[in-house]
Each structure stands twice: as C-alpha cells, then as structure tokens.
Structure 1
Amino acid sequence: MARLYADEQFPYEVVEHLRDLGHDVVTVQEARKANLKIPDDEVLAFASSNERVVLTLNRRDFKRLHRYVPSHAGIIICTDDVDRSGLAKRINAAILAGEPLAGKLVSVVRPAR
C-alpha cells in the first residue's frame, strides 16, 4: 500500500479510513508535533524527501506546485466530501489504479449528486 502525507487541512477521519485500508499515513501535525502553518512547497518537499505521496484538498496550489516541481513522490488532490469513508475508498482506488505514483498528480473528485 501507499506511504502518504496528509497536509494540515486534510480531514483526519479520512486518514483513519485510509489506515484501515492498509495505507501508511502520516499527518503534518504528527510529523511536526504541532499544528503549524506550513507552506505548501515545504509540505511537498518533506513528503518527497520521505518518499510519501501528498494528500490535500488544496487543489489549485498543488496543481501549480506539480507544474513547477515535477520531481516528487506524488500528489493526490481531492474535493472534500462529507462521506469520509467514500472519499477514502475513492483515494484507495486511485492509488491502486495509478501506482507507481512518483511524479504524478492524481485527482479524486466527489461523485455527482
């Protein structure tokens, strides 16, 4: 399964579901031992240096970072969804379909209602 790094706004409930699915997920808060405002480029650099794929809801900024820093461990951008379990399952499916994720930008969107 994937090694993931969830940025500071990523829903913790989704992190827990991903862990239940067998993924190794570390959050910014766990890695930094504080809930700090960390710039997106530092999130990406930390994740890449630790061979972890970034999980984020910050679609616009990480799309830009992907263009400027194409050499990374992977980025998964998501639209938020109140169905946390469903979001985790869609992320899991995207990971399985896209491996290896290094250098890729993967988009996981909320289903149409």
Structure 2
Amino acid sequence: MARLYADEQFPRLVVELLRSFGHDVLTVQEAGKANLKIPDEEVLAFAVSEKRAVLTLNREDFFRLHRLRPEHFGIIACKDDSNRERMAARINEAIYAEESLQGKLIRVIRPSR
C-alpha cells in the first residue's frame, strides 16, 4: 500500500481504482486546494509534508522538480490513458515493483497499440 497525493488534473476514476487496490490516495480537491491553480512546487511540498508520493499527468514539470528536489516521497508521472482500469493497474504494478517510492521518479506509460 502506498500513500499518494493526486494532483489537480489526475483522473478521479483512477484514484478510486487505486483505492480499491488498497492505496491511501488523497486528492488536491480533498485537501481543500481545488481550483486554486496550485504551483507544482507547492503540490510537491504538500506531498512531502504529508509523506505521500505525487500522482501526476504533468510529466515534464515534475521531471524538472525531481531533478531540483530529489528528496521527496516519490513522483509517479503518468501518460494519460483513456482506459482508466488499465491505467490504474499499471500504476499499481509500478508501485509494487519498487521496494520504496522515496526519492524515486516513476514513469508509467501507456502501452503502444
């Protein structure tokens, strides 16, 4: 089980599916920060303060943040996939493939067709 923090654009259905796999997922909206256009740096800082890995579709910005601030509890950067069940399963697999998410940048890609 992982402690995760889903950023503003992360698909709600994927959050629910990850919860059904047993992950503790907090969304930006649930944290009371919805519609505030929170800078990515603040998303990461909040995740660190809560000891959570970030779930994001905003790959490039979080790749940069990982290079600038590698002391975090994980960043899971995903390619969007319209098949939400497959997307959640791939994230779950990526989480369980790691002993720890701390300080890691994990890329979850959409399978080629």
TM-score range, shorter chain: over 0.9
After TM superposition, the score normalised by the length of structure 1 is: 0.97
**Aligned counterparts of 1:9 and 1:75: Cα–Cα separation in 2:** 15
- 2:22 aligned partner: 22
* Structure 1 partner of 2:102: 102
Q: Which residue is 1:40 aligned to? A: 40
Answering whether residue 71 of structure 2 is matched by residue 80 of structure 1, we say no
| 2:44–2:54 contact (8 Å) kept in structure 1 | yes
The structure-2 alpha-carbon separation of the partners of 1:71 and 1:33, relative to structure 1 and needing over 3 Å to count, comes to closer
| Alignment TM-score, normalising by the size of structure 2 | 0.97
**Larger helix proportion, structure 1 or 2?**
1
CA RMSD of aligned residues (A): 0.8
* Preserved contact between residue 28 and residue 35 of structure 1 (Cα < 8 Å): no
Q: How far 1:103 moved relative to its partner?
A: 0.3
Secondary structure of the equivalent of 2:26?
strand
Structure 1 residue runs of 4+, over 3 Å off?
A: none
- Following TM superposition, by how much is the alpha carbon of 1:39 offset from its aligned partner in structure 2, in angstroms? 0.3
Percent identity between the two aligned chains:
69
> How many residues align structurally?
113
Corresponding residue for residue 63 of structure 1: 63
| Structure 1 position 33, deviation (Å) | 5.2
